[in-house]
Amino acid sequence: MNDAKVLLDYGSGGRASHRLIGELLLRHFRSPELARLNDAAVLDLRGPVAVSTDSFTVDPIFFPGGDIGSLAVHGTVNDVAMLGARPLYLTCALILEEGLPMADLERIVASLGQAADAAGVAVVTGDTKVMPRGQADKIFINTTGIGQIMVATPPSGDRARPGDAILVSGSMGDHGLTILSQREGLAFDAPVESDSACLSHLILKLLEALPDIHVLRDPTRGGLATTLNEIAGQSRAGCLIEESSLPVKQAVKAGCSFLGLDPLYLANEGKFICILPEAQADAALSILRADPLGKDAARIGTVTAENPGKVVMRTPLGGHRMLSMLEGEQLPRIC
Amino acid sequence: MNDAKVLLDYGSGGRASHRLIGELLLRHFRSPELARLNDAAVLDLRGPVAVSTDSFTVDPIFFPGGDIGSLAVHGTVNDVAMLGARPLYLTCALILEEGLPMADLERIVASLGQAADAAGVAVVTGDTKVMPRGQADKIFINTTGIGQIMVATPPSGDRARPGDAILVSGSMGDHGLTILSQREGLAFDAPVESDSACLSHLILKLLEALPDIHVLRDPTRGGLATTLNEIAGQSRAGCLIEESSLPVKQAVKAGCSFLGLDPLYLANEGKFICILPEAQADAALSILRADPLGKDAARIGTVTAENPGKVVMRTPLGGHRMLSMLEGEQLPRIC
């Protein structure tokens, strides 16, 4: 495209929309189904299917460790994988603000295309709307992911059972702290970086060895504390967490302490919670730690019959503290 | 919900988000899969599947004949149906502006739920983001629709063949003129109303009788002229249209003439183009006209070997006029 900025015409459905598709989107989303240019895609799917949708509105749109394009792939692909599914297809709907620099749009679209390739998903259909200046902020991306479920009984938030072990695949709070520090223009001694990553290959490796995993869930908005509360509520069981075993990077601890934030309520975009029978916990940890994305995996607690619907954290001194869901909004536009 | 307006918290992923889901969304989207509250839905699908996504940003959000909620169902369900599929599932992702009146949100969500029920689709998973005031305009809705393909060879924009008949299911331009007149605060003698409607039952009725329909496409953004150009391009054939046979309501004609608009470039949200072998044209017209949504159906032209990739309109006086794709943006935020 020769224009320096996104024009209102790009959303008209007319000639400018077709140029945007032909000259930019099809170049970065190399998918035969998309190239057929129908308003819908035909997919060959057999058997039970997992579907997830998310709109991404993160601010800033570029940040250490990623951008809104790669995040829009990782966030949705991970949600599909958490159901024990292999992500296969992605839809991509862009809402652009008139005047967005074309260079930014191209960088985001290229990043989205690369992340989709790396995740093994094809962008099969899409949509572009352009909003007059001031009626949207730069770019919002919706992706819907579709995958084929690979296990007989999909993991689900209501399947945590007393006695189950609670693991996390890595350190908590990296994405949330990164976005916040970028927005506030803060620089820390030790730089922090978003953990945004595609988790599906690691999830599938885990499920292949241990098909009876009860719950898989990524602690995104609201962080670990909120996500564990969701699981406790859905499963009508308690979660008992050991504070000393929670993996949090030193730089994230320091940044949180400076800003008065709790890393347990900060969003993660490349980590997951895994809840499974106690006897399989060690095997799961070995598989996780053998992968770069799971190298800091840890067992952080146990599902209990006591305190159903609640999350309790044991402090290093032996005290107990109730972890409630996130109250209020710690940080808008985190993802 | 007791709040009068949408708060930033509703998008936090924390307690307020859960209240929004529990107290508002689950009440209007009655779907067991949604009620399981996982981040993704498990769907039972067999065989080839059609998928389509669209973001809706229409302004105003309420208009004669519909609102952004019902439009978000009709637009996506229709795109799925155009591939010869029975729409079954819908995802729903909301981007809300902080301060949106809760009464407006509830009215939109209720309308979306009712439209989904009427269309026979279940809302199976969703997402809500809230933008700080001024960073989005009131409400944007993304829906992704999934359906089961019911025919051996799905209709597709590249299957128009010379000699095929070109039909439309009803009058052109109603939705576009309605939105524009609302936005400009214009009142016409004869009121106009959006044609926003779910077309899937009519499409399926048609395909059951005539499974060899070549192309089905709804002329939304860019209108009939742009959509026919897309089909001509994909099929590498020409389209010859008879101006005198184009159904346009008197009130739309009058409004367009007053505003200097061409109804052939205005969006429709409850109409479709049907291209099929000449010998089946009369049977298709009978089926269409027997349905309230197709009562004004008309045969408007023929696919030609001449002028491949182009659309030519024959005027009542026998002249010929080339109809190109929409150039520029006639009207942003039309859908």
CATH architecture of structural domain B8-149:
2-Layer Sandwich (3.30)
* Average pLDDT, integer, range B47-63: 95
Q: Are A252 and A258 in contact (CB under 8 A)?
A: no
B190 touches A: beta carbon within 8 Å: no
Q: Are A196 and A269 in contact (CB under 8 A)?
A: yes
Task: Tell if the CB–CB gap between A325 and B18 is shorter than 8 Å.
Answer: yes
Is the pLDDT reported for residue A309 higher than 80?
yes
Percent of chain A with pLDDT over 90: 85
**Helix, strand, coil percent values for chain A (each to nearest 5):** 35, 25, 40
Beta strands in A36-84 (DSSP E): 41-45, 48-56, 62-63, 66-67
Shortest CA gap A230–chain B (Å): 9
d(CA A292, CA A307): 35
**CA proximity to A293, closest of A206, A232, A177:** A206
pLDDT in tens, B118-137: 999 999 999 999 999 999 99
A55 touches B: beta carbon within 8 Å: yes
Q: Does residue B317 or residue B189 have the better pLDDT?
A: B317
What is the three-class DSSP state of B62? strand
B89 touches A: beta carbon within 8 Å: yes
Structure tokens given for B304: 């030609």
Question: How far does chain A reach from its first CA to its final CA, in angstroms?
Answer: 28
What is the three-class DSSP state of B181? helix
- Say which residue the tokens 């307006």 belong to: B5
Edge-first strand listing for the sheet containing B139-149 = A41-45, B47-56, B139-149, B85-97, B122-131
What is the residue-wise DSSP string for A137-182? -SEEEEEEEEEEE-SSS---TT---TT-EEEESS-SSHHHHHHHHH
pLDDT in tens, A220-258: 999 999 999 999 999 999 999 999 999 999 999 999 998
pLDDT in tens, A152-176: 999 999 999 999 999 999 999 999 9
Q: Label the pairing between strands A320-323 and B41-44.
A: unpaired
Residues of chain B neighbouring A39 (CB-CB closer than 8 A): 52, 79, 82, 217-218
- Hey, where are the domains in chain A? 8-149, 165-323
B64 touches A: beta carbon within 8 Å: no
Which CATH number fits the domain A165-323, given the four candidates 3.40.50.620, 1.10.357.10, 3.40.50.11540, 3.90.650.10? 3.90.650.10
Q: Which of A41, A92, A230 sits opposite B37 (nearest CB)?
A: A230
Tell how far CA B114 is from the center of its chain: 16
Q: How does residue A331 score in pLDDT terms, banded at 50, 70 and 90?
A: confident
> What integer best gives the mean pLDDT of chain A?
94
A35 touches B: beta carbon within 8 Å: no
Contacts of A128 (CB under 8 A, 6+ apart): A10, A11, A17, A20, A21, A25, A93, A94, A96
A134 touches B: beta carbon within 8 Å: yes
**CA proximity to B259, closest of B162, B176, B137:** B176
**CA proximity to B243, closest of B326, B307, B330, B172:** B172
Residues of chain B neighbouring A95 (CB-CB closer than 8 A): 55, 57, 95, 140
Q: Which of B40, B226, B329 sits opposite A52 (nearest CB)?
A: B40
Q: What is the pLDDT of residue B53?
A: 97
Q: How does residue B185 score in pLDDT terms, banded at 50, 70 and 90?
A: confident
Residue B229 burial (10 A CB sphere; 0-12, 13-18, 19+): buried
Task: Tell if the CB–CB gap between B131 and A333 is shorter than 8 Å.
Answer: yes
Q: What is the pLDDT of residue A186?
A: 78
Shortest CA gap A165–chain B (Å): 20
Contacts of B95 (CB under 8 A, 6+ apart): A55, A57, A95, A140, B129, B130, B131, B136, B139, B140, B141, B142
Shortest CA gap B3–chain A (Å): 14
pLDDT in tens, B82-115: 999 999 999 999 999 999 999 999 999 999 999 9
Residues 193-222 of B with CB under 8 A from A: 217-218, 220-222
Same fold, B8-149 and B165-323: no
> What integer best gives the mean pLDDT of chain B?
94
- Say which residue the tokens 């949180």 belong to: A256
Q: What is the ipTM of this complex?
A: 0.95
Task: Tell if the CB–CB gap between B51 and A57 is shorter than 8 Å.
Answer: no
CB atoms within 10 A of CB B290: 12
d(CA A187, CA A178): 10
**CA proximity to B226, closest of A216, A9, A65, A30:** A9
Nearest CA in chain A to B80: A40
Residues of chain A neighbouring B203 (CB-CB closer than 8 A): none
d(CA A43, CA B148): 10
